[in-house]
Amino acid sequence: MKQQYGLRIIRMIALAGLVGFMGAAYTYGQFSQDKKADVEINSKAMPKDIQPAYHEFMEKCSECHEVESSLKLNMESSQWQSEVKRMEAMASSQFNDDQAKSILKFLNYDEALRAFKQKPTSDVTSSDSVMIGRQLYSAQGCDACHSIEGKGGSMGSLDGVGTRLSHEQLVHRLVVPSAGSVMPALPADTSEVQIGNLVDYLLTLKGH
């Protein structure tokens, strides 16, 4: 009987302590919430070929964290590539290389879109065509192979391509696949206007 009494007292003290402690933890928690970045995604406005990639992204990249966590960073195409690869190597991640590619397609598109919405930062002329061309350049993953001002892939610098090649030559280079080249053709549904945008952007690369 005596022992039981002691036990009860100990339990009560433990309980009171715990409730107090949890209360404090809870209150504290109210003031230390992580601030989420505001990320808006308008799926209806997306091009048709991006839609499936978007759904893949929404399904696979919101499994462990909110999509806001995935999108809050501004990253280059090559950075996204390694980030998606890193996520694929997490325990319990359930997507394969093909799905990763599809997700990357969306991420590059989204990144380009947001870059487009932001104010122009570099010395390119502010004409809309150039802006869109620049956006397409990263959305199509050109920077996986090419570098501009030292940034991007290692298969060839495009610095100065605007002086090296003419408008016609550039259009030709993009539209007609050259035999034996590793450079992929543009997607079949790329419009003439979009090609024009890309070329307008490439023509601004007068560099070194």
Binding footprint of ligand HEC on the chain (CB under 6 A): 60-61, 63-65, 69-70, 73, 83-84, 87, 90, 92-93, 103, 137, 140-142, 144-146, 155-156, 161, 164, 170, 173-174, 178, 181-184, 186, 198, 202
With 0-12 CB in 10 A as exposed, 13-18 as middle and 19+ as buried, what is 36? exposed
Question: Is residue 176 involved in binding another protein (CB under 8 A)?
Answer: no
Count of helices and strands (H, E) across the chain: 9, 3
CB 198 within 8 A of CB 131: no
| Residue 146 contact, options ligand HEC, another protein, none, Cβ 5-8 Å cut-off depending on partner type | ligand HEC
DSSP state of 61: T
Strands (E), the chain: 146-148, 151-152, 156-157
**Shortest CB 188 distance to another protein, Å:** 30
d(CA 141, CA 81): 10
Residue 24 touches which of ligand HEC, another protein, none (Cβ within 5-8 Å per kind)? another protein
Q: What is the DSSP string of 83-132?
A: HHHHHHTSTT----HHHHHHHHHHHHHHHHHHHHHSPP-SSS---HHHHH
Please count the residues of this chain forming the interface with another protein, following the rule CB under 8 A.
Answer: 40
Query: What is the CA angle 55-59-63, rounded to 5?
Result: 155
Positions 101 through 140 that interact with another protein (CB under 8 A): none
Among 88, 114, 120, 190, binds another protein (CB under 8 A): 88
Least distance (Å) between residue 104 CB and another protein: 16
Residue from 39, 41, 46, 69 touching another protein (CB under 8 A): that is 69
Q: In the range 29-68, which residues lie near another protein by CB under 8 A?
A: 29-30, 32-34, 36, 59, 62-66
